[in-house]
Structure 1
Amino acid sequence: MGMRGLKPPPMILRRALRVVWPVLAVTVTVASLPVLVAGAVWSLVDRRARLFRATGLFLLIVWLDLQLLVGCWRLRLADPRGESPTWYVDHEELLGRVLDTAMALGRKWFGFEVRLDAVMDLGDAERPLVAFARHAGPADSIAVAWLLSRTGGRLPRIVLADALRWDPGIDLILTRLGSSFVPSVSGAGDDRLAGVRRLADTLAREDALLIFPEGENWTPARRSKLLRRLRESGHQARLRQAERLRNVLPPKTKGAVATLTARPDADVMIVAHAGLGRLTGARAIFDAIPFRRPFLVHTWTYAAPDVPREPAAIEAWLEERWLEIDAWVEGQHE
């Protein structure tokens, strides 16, 4: 997503962003109105109305994020100390409503339609669920989180890059919901796993944890760069593994190992999706609007006793699952 190497803002700037964001949202909206009007006029020529839809998508993101921020303010005003027994549930409901709105408008105006190709198995209701998902295409993390929430009633806690703290609405609500923001910069060492372990340790039986082991969206350029780096470094085994994967990046297994060793009681879901994964840049997304293919999701769910818990076995197991994801995506002719 272009987040690698971007440091999060310091706390004082995060708080300042929360205050000025409403003013910025209004300013951006006013500045975008001429483009929106031009897009509406141009739709007489471009029957797909791409400029109009793209501008509308941008404004939708701005105002939904503002809705998250204002909703968090209202919850704080109603409960200044955050001690209400419904504090956490209230924030879950707020995020769920915003996700519902985003998905409904995305489907209506941009053709972003999420479909399951088979019934989703959410595992044992008495056990927590850990979901490892492919990372590719526009809005895939939002779509997978929404699907887990609305299909199985498990709004997941998410592991995401701390560069997303530049977004004041996402920063505030996901912080309150206990999601983990991992360092976006390289060289962070074991600190990248501390938040993952915390989330794993605190999962209740009805909870889900969503992780994207690739760490960044798949693109042809990133795959080529990875292959080149592995050839130059002489890591032949990893190179062979990466060469076998055409539609996904090799999973980074440290987070999976930390999670699965911490929670041997958790069921595991593997999430594949296809349809929009080849839309790897702003131009490609613009040209594809409205999307003609659905965001098609396929899942495999494994009961806790069937998932290995030793580090080496977890790594091998996850690599096999990623081969299955790659083969499934290939079969969809994405």
Structure 2
Amino acid sequence: MLPPRFIRRLVLAPLVLVLTVVAVITLPIWLVVVTAASLRLPVPQRRGTRLVWFALAWLTLESMALVASLGLWVAAGLGGRLNKDEYQERHYDLIQWFLSKVYTVAVRIFHLSVEIDEPTPTSDEISRRLTRPVIVLSRHAGPGDSFLLIYHLLARYGRRPRIVMKAALQFDPSLDVVINRLPNAFVPRKTAESGIIAEISRLSSDMDADDALVIFPEGGNFTPKRRWRAILRLQQKGLTEEAARARKMHYLLPPHPGGAIAAIDACPAADVVFVAHTGLDDLITLGDVWRRLPVRAEIKAKWWRVQAADVPRDREAQTRWLFDQWEEIDAWIAENRPAPAART
């Protein structure tokens, strides 16, 4: 169960600072331990050392973000002006700074590369890029896909992302502090679908031209077991057409149309962007990351944009359209995903 906010502020945030200091002091010990644990692996595949360095970098950046958040809170009159545009922008700048540093660290430690296949914009499209809000519908698989997506929306496309997240993510202090000061939503694990849809509608309804609402219609990271359970639920609900289409998709969970449709209905002026990506799909659990993290982390992504005028408005047509797009993502993944990493 998630502790109350004031407890999280008084306990979890200082705990991160303490853990960072302890991690720095005990770093040589951790390096010895993980090196010993991975001696049977070839040197290039000794992932433990890389994971330790990344964890240390993450903790350090978390601590810096918390200190910066405290400074912004003080500068905003002890929080009284945090909802003003000036301080909202400063928090988006803080998120972009944090994610850019994480991205740089991942490039250096994991040799991360991200290749994005995006439409070649005309000069007219470039001039109109930030004249309408967008609703971003992305697949959900692999570690860090949401962080990379938010980073690119901020740094590459100049968007201000909004997202609905699991309430448990508030155990991360910097995420808890910064994200709760911006138009986002955390939903408890047992929240009814209607409650999640209500939050999506709320976030979508007042978007400005440079906002982007990010939704993962699958509802969670892809796993084969989740795929079969999702197909079974569709069958039990009598949605035979959707179940049949879901069986033909091998790399995706069938999309839940409710959230996407609610976002579109709440902001009919928004364009819709679909995001496909692949590269780290087989890294599902922490054990997978430990055993199969590749020497070079290569991610391929593709996105395409549907103008608001071309988005269906009838609910049945929207559902079929959403499945059409998901089938296109599945076909793209089949063509671009790397061979499964060998277990070591």
1:149-298 mapped onto 2 (5 Å cutoff): 149-185=154-190, 188-230=192-234, 235-298=239-302
1:77-116 mapped onto 2 (5 Å cutoff): 77-80=74-77, 81-82=80-81, 85-116=85-116
What's the Cα RMSD here?
Answer: 2.5
Partner secondary structure for residue 156 of structure 1? strand
Q: Quick check: 1:14 aligned with 2:8? A: yes
Q: Is contact 1:160-1:182 (8 Å) kept?
A: yes
Aligned position for 2:58: 61
Shift of 1:313: 2.1
Q: Is contact 1:8-1:163 (8 Å) kept?
A: yes
Letter matched to residue 112 of structure 2: F
Letter matched to residue 330 of structure 1: A
Output the TM-score relative to the length of structure 1.
0.89
Shift of 1:219: 1.3
Partner secondary structure for residue 184 of structure 1? coil
CA distance in 2, matches of 1:33, 1:211: 41
CA distance in 1, matches of 2:52, 2:224: 27
Letter matched to residue 166 of structure 1: F
Aligned position for 1:47: 43
Shift of 1:284: 2.2
Letter matched to residue 81 of structure 2: G
Partner secondary structure for residue 299 of structure 1? strand
Letter matched to residue 101 of structure 2: T
Distance 1:28 1:224, change over 3 A: farther
Q: Is contact 2:283-2:293 (8 Å) kept?
A: no
CA distance in 2, matches of 1:130, 1:291: 34
Shift of 1:43: 7.3
Q: Is contact 2:65-2:174 (8 Å) kept?
A: yes
Aligned position for 2:342: none
Q: Deviations over 1:224-262 (max 9, x none)?
A: 333455566765334312211110101111111110001
Output the TM-score relative to the length of structure 2.
0.86
CA distance in 2, matches of 1:44, 1:77: 51
Partner secondary structure for residue 264 of structure 2? helix
> Which segments of structure 1 move beyond 6 Å, counting only runs of 4 or more?
41-45
| Gaps in structure 1 of 5+ consecutive residues | 1-6
Shift of 1:308: 1.4
CA distance in 1, matches of 2:170, 2:145: 19
CA distance in 1, matches of 2:312, 2:150: 25
CA distance in 1, matches of 2:216, 2:152: 15
Shift of 1:297: 0.8
Q: Is contact 2:160-2:210 (8 Å) kept?
A: no
Partner secondary structure for residue 210 of structure 1? strand
Letter matched to residue 331 of structure 1: E
Q: Matched residue pairs, number?
A: 327
Q: Is contact 2:2-2:168 (8 Å) kept?
A: yes
Q: Is contact 1:111-1:291 (8 Å) kept?
A: yes
Shift of 1:18: 2.7
Distance 1:190 1:234, change over 3 A: closer
CA distance in 2, matches of 1:246, 1:151: 30
Q: Is contact 2:137-2:217 (8 Å) kept?
A: yes
Q: Deviations over 1:187-216 (max 9, x none)?
A: 524221222112111210111111111110
Letter matched to residue 11 of structure 1: R
Percent identical across equivalent pairs?
A: 32
Shift of 1:162: 1.4
Match of 1:320 among 316, 320, 324: 324
Match of 1:36 among 31, 37, 54: 31
| Gaps in structure 2 of 5+ consecutive residues | 339-344
Letter matched to residue 150 of structure 2: A
Q: Deviations over 1:295-321 (max 9, x none)?
A: 111001011100112322222211111
Distance 1:15 1:43, change over 3 A: same
CA distance in 2, matches of 1:27, 1:183: 32
Q: Is contact 1:43-1:50 (8 Å) kept?
A: no
Partner secondary structure for residue 323 of structure 1? helix
CA distance in 2, matches of 1:332, 1:85: 41
Partner secondary structure for residue 251 of structure 1? coil
Distance 1:228 1:28, change over 3 A: farther
Letter matched to residue 106 of structure 1: A
Q: Deviations over 1:267-307 (max 9, x none)?
A: 11000001111221222222333443521110010111001
Distance 1:43 1:156, change over 3 A: farther
